[in-house]
Amino acid sequence: MASSPSDQTSQSYAQWVRRSIIRNSNSRSLLVSLFESSVPEPTELLREVLLEGFENGVTPRYASTFVKGNPYLVAAVARDYGVCEEQVLTTTGATGALSLIYRALLSTGDRVLIENPSFELFASLAQAGGVAVDRFERRGPRFAVDPAEVEARIRPETRMIVMSNLHNPSGMAVPDETMRALAALADRHDLILVVDEVYAPYAGNALRPAASLGASPRVVSVNSLTKIYGLSTLRCGWMVGDESVVAPVRELAREVEFAISNLAHALAALVAENPARFRENTFSVLAKARPIIESYHAHWITEGLVEGDLPDSGCIAFPRLLGIRDTEHFSGWLSDRCGVLVAPGEYFGAPGHVRLGFAMEPSRLDYGLQALTDGLVTYRDTYRGKQGLLETR
C-alpha cells in the first residue's frame, strides 16, 4: 500500500529506497527505477579493466592506499584539475569525502549553510556530528543561486557553505561567474565553500570544477566515479582544494580511514587514466535517452501536468507535479500501480516535485515515462477531494 501523508519523511531517503524496492519485490517486479541517478553500471567495461589489469599478472596500479592514497589515482585526478598532488585526497566515495571534511573542519556549535533543495546527506552528515544546519534557497525554473541571498543567510557561527553543481536534484548548472561570487563571499566571511560535483562531468567542458577556477583557496571540490561512469561499486571519491584546507582533512583520514580498498582504487586508477571508453558509454546512453525525456517533458508542459525546465545536461530532472502536493504518496501509489518508482521531492526539501533519472535503455525509459504520464492524470482524478494529497488553488 502507498504511504500515507502522516508518515512522510519519517525515514531517510536511503531507507525509503530500500523499503520501496522490498515492497515491490514482495508484490511484483520493479519494472522501471526512475529514481536511479546515474548511468547503469557498465559491467562489461569493468570486466575489461579487470582483465587488462590482472589477467597476465598484477598491474602496478595495485598499490597501497594507506599512506597517501593510490599514487596513480592521485596523479590522474591532479592532472584533470590542474593542481599539485598535495591538493588531492582520495576517499571512499564522495560521501566519504564530505564526512571527513565535516569532521575535520567543523565543531559542535558551528553551523553549515546548505542549499535547498538538496541531497539529504549534506544535512544529515552534519547533524550527526552535532553541527547545526541552515538553508538557502535555489529558486526559479533553473534553481538558480543568488549570492546576495546566500550571504544574507550567513550567521556568526557559520563556518561552511555546501552546494552541488550540477545541482542534485535538478541537474541545473551554476555559472562560473556565480561560483566566483560565492568564492569571494567565502573569503569575506572566512568560510569554506564545498561544492559537490559528482554530476559536473556530464556538462563536459562547459563546466569547470570549482577548485580549478583559482577564485579562492577556500573552495573545495568533491567528486567520484559513481555518477558519471556508474561505478559505485569502486567506492572511489576525492576532494580537491588548497593545501591549507586539505591538510587537516588528510590528517583526520590517516587517523580514522582504514577501509579504502587497494583493489577498488587500483581499478579506479585504471579507469581515471583511460576514461574514453567509459565516457563514450555514458554519453551514448544519454544520446538515446535525451530525446525521449525531452518529448515527454514537452507533452507534460503542454498538458499542464508539470512545470519547470529540463537541465541542459546530465541524467536527472526535478519537475514540479502540478496539482499534486504529497509526492511521497504519489510515488508509492505509482509504484504499486505499475511498478515504476520516482523519487519524492520530500526527501530533497521540495514537496510537490519528483526527481527523475533517465539514463537508461530507451524501451524501459519510454515505458516508465508513459506510466508516469498516465499516472499524473489518473492520480488527480482518483484523489480529487482528498485532503492533503492534491494542491488547492
Residue 314 has pLDDT above 90, yes or no: yes
Measured in degrees and rounded to the nearest 5, phi and psi for residue 254 equal -65, -25
Residues 313, 204 within the same domain:
no
User: pLDDT-derived band of residue 257, with 50, 70 and 90 as boundaries?
Assistant: confident
pLDDT tens digits, residue range 167-176? 999 999 999 9
Instruction: For the chain, give the percent of residues with pLDDT over 90.
Output: 87
Residue 196 has pLDDT above 80, yes or no: yes
In a domain, 48, yes or no: no
In a domain, 53, yes or no: no
Residues 287, 264 within the same domain:
no
Residues 37, 96 within the same domain:
no
Domain that holds residue 31: 5-42+278-382
Last residue of a domain, one of 273, 289, 308: 273
Last residue of a domain, one of 254, 273, 292: 273
Sheet holding 236-240, edge to edge: 88-92, 236-240, 219-224, 192-196, 158-164, 111-116, 132-137
pLDDT tens digits, residue range 317-327? 999 999 999 99
pLDDT value at position 21? 80
Q: Residue 373 in contact with residue 300, Cβ under 8 Å?
A: yes
In a domain, 217, yes or no: yes
The residues near 1 (Cβ < 8 Å, ≥ 6 apart) are 332, 336
Measured in degrees and rounded to the nearest 5, phi and psi for residue 286 equal -70, -35
Residue 9 has pLDDT above 80, yes or no: no
Average pLDDT of 130-143? 97
pLDDT value at position 1? 34
Residues 143, 217 within the same domain:
yes
Residues 110, 239 within the same domain:
yes
Residues 183, 299 within the same domain:
no
Give buried/exposed letters for 282-315 (b at 16+ CB in 10 A, else e).
bbebbeebbebbeebbeebbeeebbebbbbebbb
pLDDT tens digits, residue range 184-195? 999 999 999 999
Residues 264, 291 within the same domain:
no
CA–CA gap between residue 303 and residue 289 (Å, rounded)? 22
The three cell numbers locating residue 63: 598499490
User: pLDDT-derived band of residue 3, with 50, 70 and 90 as boundaries?
Assistant: very low
Last residue of a domain, one of 216, 251, 273: 273
Residues 206, 101 within the same domain:
yes
- Identify which of 171, 168, 163, 170 has the alpha carbon closest to the alpha carbon of residue 146: 163
Measured in degrees and rounded to the nearest 5, phi and psi for residue 90 equal -90, 145
In a domain, 55, yes or no: no
pLDDT value at position 392? 53
In a domain, 390, yes or no: no
Number of residues that this document lists for the chain = 393
pLDDT tens digits, residue range 69-103? 999 999 999 999 999 999 999 999 999 999 999 99
CA–CA gap between residue 195 and residue 179 (Å, rounded)? 9
pLDDT value at position 22? 80
pLDDT value at position 2? 38
Crossing angle of helices 120-128 and 93-105, in 10° steps, is: 40
Q: Assign residue 204 a region: left if phi > 0, alpha if psi is -120 to 50, beta otherwise?
A: left
Q: How many domains does the chain have?
A: 2
User: pLDDT-derived band of residue 371, with 50, 70 and 90 as boundaries?
Assistant: very high
Residues 252, 133 within the same domain:
yes
Average pLDDT of 247-261? 92
Residue 297 has pLDDT above 90, yes or no: yes
In a domain, 309, yes or no: yes
Domain harbouring 288, CATH code: 3.90.1150.10
CA angle 94, 100, 106 (to 5 degrees): 125
Q: Which residue has the cell 541537474?
A: 171
Residues 209, 349 within the same domain:
no
Residues 282, 263 within the same domain:
no
Residues 266, 119 within the same domain:
yes
CA–CA gap between residue 168 and residue 320 (Å, rounded)? 15
In a domain, 157, yes or no: yes
User: pLDDT-derived band of residue 4, with 50, 70 and 90 as boundaries?
Assistant: very low
pLDDT tens digits, residue range 21-72? 887 776 556 679 999 999 999 999 999 999 999 999 999 999 999 989 999 9
In a domain, 346, yes or no: yes
Average pLDDT of 201-225? 96
